[in-house]
């Protein structure tokens, strides 16, 4: 009788938990259709955003001015999933993120402008501290693929709690009742930074 090869249960459990969570989700629908900026406010977007091969590409203009690509619709409780990749061309690094709620709270992607440290997956509040320790994704580097490759992010805003998963693994969670109002979602290009970021498979569900 052949013995079955054992597989570490500790490696299987997080995947099972994530799969169950996804199975219970409401239906995710495309926010970005891969063709145009339907569902987004397009004013001034042409100078910063373009679409190639169903990929949404954000890039600074020559003056390195910043820009937010805002959704037309406001969201309060939601799940947002997307693939994103970037590759720094200067020591400053890429600085982008997803803004949500009113007042604004942001999921940081790339290097923080204030800290000059990669804070990917952490929640930025704009207060003091700007990145509360309990909302930091301290293991993000271990969860992400090498720079320049696609990474899958999942953001959930539900009630007063904000959660981020990176490539299927929970990376951070932050709770604060201050950020309670519905607002458009904003995809950021940070001003004063030479940067380029790419998004695809952007889907959303309201909770």
pLDDT in tens, 141-160: 999 999 999 999 999 999 99
Stretch 83-101: mean pLDDT: 94
Question: In whole angstroms, how far apart are CA 65 and each of 88, 117, 150, 189?
Answer: 17, 21, 25, 8
pLDDT number for residue 5: 46
Average pLDDT over residues 86-101: 93
Least confident of 24-28, 42-46, 90-94, 95-99: 24-28
pLDDT value, residue 89: 86
Supply the pLDDT for residue 17: 47
How many beta carbons lie within 10 A of that of residue 142, not counting itself? 9
141: its two tokens? 């580097």
In this prediction, residue 23 has a pLDDT band, given cuts at 50, 70 and 90, of low
The stretch 112-119 carries a mean pLDDT of 94
Chain center to CA of 158: 16
Domains of the chain from N-terminus onward: 31-206 (2.60.120.560)
- Asked if residue 103 has a cis previous peptide bond (ω within 30° of 0), the answer is yes
pTM, two decimal places: 0.88
Beta-strand pair 67-75/123-124: unpaired
Tell me what pLDDT residue 7 has.
Answer: 41
CA 122 and chain centroid, separation: 10
pLDDT above 60 for 64: yes
Instruction: Please report where in the chains the tokens 């001015």 appear, as a residue.
Output: 65
The pLDDT score that the predictor gives to residue 22 is 58
Over residues 168-190, the pLDDT tens digits come to 999 999 999 999 999 999 999 99
CA distances from 12 to 6, 7, 142, 151 (A): 11, 8, 17, 20
Burial of residue 47 (CB within 10 Å: 0-12, 13-18, 19+) is: middle
Q: What percent of the chain clears pLDDT 70, i.e. is strictly above it?
A: 89
> Given this model, what pLDDT does residue 105 score?
98
């Amino acid at each position: 009788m052949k013995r079955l090869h054992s597989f570490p249960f500790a490696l299987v459990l997080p995947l099972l938990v994530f799969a169950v969570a996804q199975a219970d989700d409401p239906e995710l629908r495309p926010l970005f259709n891969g063709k145009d900026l339907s569902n987004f406010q397009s004013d001034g977007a042409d100078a910063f955003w373009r679409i190639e091969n169903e990929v949404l590409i954000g890039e600074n203009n020559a003056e390195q001015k910043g820009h937010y690509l805002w959704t037309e619709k406001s969201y309060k409780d939601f799940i947002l999933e997307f693939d994103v990749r970037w590759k720094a061309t200067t020591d400053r690094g890429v600085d982008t993120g997803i803004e949500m709620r009113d007042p604004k709270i942001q999921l940081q992607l790339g290097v923080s402008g204030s800290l000059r440290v990669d804070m990917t997956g952490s929640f930025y509040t704009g207060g003091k501290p700007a990145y509360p320790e309990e909302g930091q994704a301290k293991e993000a580097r271990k969860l992400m693929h090498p720079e320049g490759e696609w990474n899958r992010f999942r953001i959930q805003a539900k009630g007063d709690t904000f959660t981020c998963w990176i490539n299927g693994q929970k990376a951070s969670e932050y709770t604060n009742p201050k950020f309670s109002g519905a607002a458009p979602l904003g995809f950021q290009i940070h001003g004063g930074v030479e940067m380029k970021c790419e998004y695809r498979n952007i889907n959303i569900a309201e909770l």
